[in-house]
Amino acid sequence: MHAQDDAMTTNPWTHALANHDLHTHTSWSDGRHPVSLLVQEARAYELDAIAITDHYFPGMGPAESDEAFDRYLTEIDAARSGQDDVRVLQGIEATVLDVTGRISIDAAHAERLEWVLCDLGSRSEGTFLNTPADKGVYMENVVRTYLGLCDVPYLNAIAHPFNTGNTVPSALPAEYPGHLLRELAQKMAERDIVFDVINSTMYWFKDSGIAPRALTAQYVEVVRLFAGEGVRFQMSSDDHRTGLGNTRWAELVLRRAGVTRGQMVDALRIGKRR
Ligand SMILES: [Zn+2]
């Protein structure tokens, strides 16, 4: 623990559920800013920890070549070296490729990272790619995809689960059948796969017609269900520009869902993989 009494009283973030931001992007993928600036910002904001998690799929950033991957890791390492005030994790955001949970990063590369996220994105067959016209089938495919992902031994967290508002058809959080959510929550808890609550969740529902506060209320109920099954959480900005450390909405949702500090990932305890 680093919490001395004077630090407790002078750092206004100590009241937060967590003082971390474990999903961020840099100019290595589709973020605007270099790694070095994100690390400087994290220090300025007195965050405990951030994870640099650029996109990882064929042709993109750190996945372009082994040489690029090496440079990515070296650059993060250089930006964090010599300082121990902010924990900076070498991570990536992989993407899931099909409903079996096939992921875009292999074990050999993942082993060199400290934090591996995976999202449902435009390359995900059977969900975002060739989305089933039947909403029930679509939602079942989403949950099957996540269940498959839970079998990936080097996966740490699912990025913004249920980001399915902008597809046709769209699937809102409250529309997922409870038994499917519970099955997934139980498997995530068993495998210790973390649920990533991103601040910009509204982005994923901008085309769905849902009112922002209705989305909040629906997402709160999903988070509450997962928390009830023992799933752990992380907060993030999913920063691409200058939003590093902005986890206001994420914290609002987690608090409203009754999540406690003990259910949050302790980023300071994340270790180097073997
Ligand atoms: Zn992201």
189 C-alpha to ligand 1 centroid (Å): 22
* Torsion over CA: 249, 231, 271, 1 (sign): positive
Q: CA angle, 143 as apex, 250 and 270 as ends, to 5°? A: 50
157 strand-pairing partners:
117, 194
- Output the CA torsion sign for 157, 159, 160, 165: negative
Secondary structure of residue 50 in the 3-state scheme: strand
Between residues 12 and 250, which one has the greater pLDDT?
A: 250
- The C-alpha angle 109, 31, 154, rounded to 5 degrees, equals 25
φ and ψ of 248, to 5 deg: -60, -50
Helix (H, G, I), strand (E, B) or coil at 259: coil
* CA 55 to ligand 1 center in whole angstroms: 7
Ligand 1 centroid from CA 197, angstroms: 11
Distance 199 CA to ligand 1 centre (A): 11
H or E segment and range at residue 95 = strand 87-95
**How far does residue 238's CA lie from ligand 1's centre (Å)?**
5
Residue 82 pLDDT: 79
CA distance 151 to 169: 28
pLDDT for the residue numbered 274: 39
**Structure token pair of residue 227:** 């928390």
Q: Ligand 1 centroid to 73 CA: how many Å?
A: 18
Burial code (b: 16+ CB inside 10 Å, e: under 16) for 239-254 equals: bbeebbbbbebbbebb
Ligand 1 centre to CA of 24 (Å) is 6
CATH no. of 33-265:
3.20.20.140
Question: From the CA of 239, how far away is ligand 1's center (Å)?
Answer: 7
Asked whether the CA dihedral 163, 151, 233, 254 is positive or negative, the reply is positive
- Residue 238 region, left (φ>0) first, then alpha (ψ -120 to 50), else beta? left
- According to the model, what pLDDT value does residue 11 have? 74
Q: What is the 77 CA–ligand 1 centroid distance (Å)?
A: 20
DSSP 129: B
d(Cα 195, Cα 189) in Å, to the nearest integer? 10
pLDDT exceeds 90 at position 12: no
The 10s digit of each residue's pLDDT in 89-135 is 999 999 999 999 999 999 999 999 999 999 999 999 999 999 999 99
Render pLDDT for 216-263 as a digit per residue (tens, 0 to 9).
999 999 999 999 999 999 999 999 998 999 999 999 999 999 999 999
Pair of tokens at residue 222:
């999903």
- State yes or no: pLDDT of 272 exceeds 70: no
Determine which of 57-61, 62-66, 166-170, 193-197 has the lowest per-residue pLDDT on average. 57-61
**Residue with structure tokens 């993030």?**
236
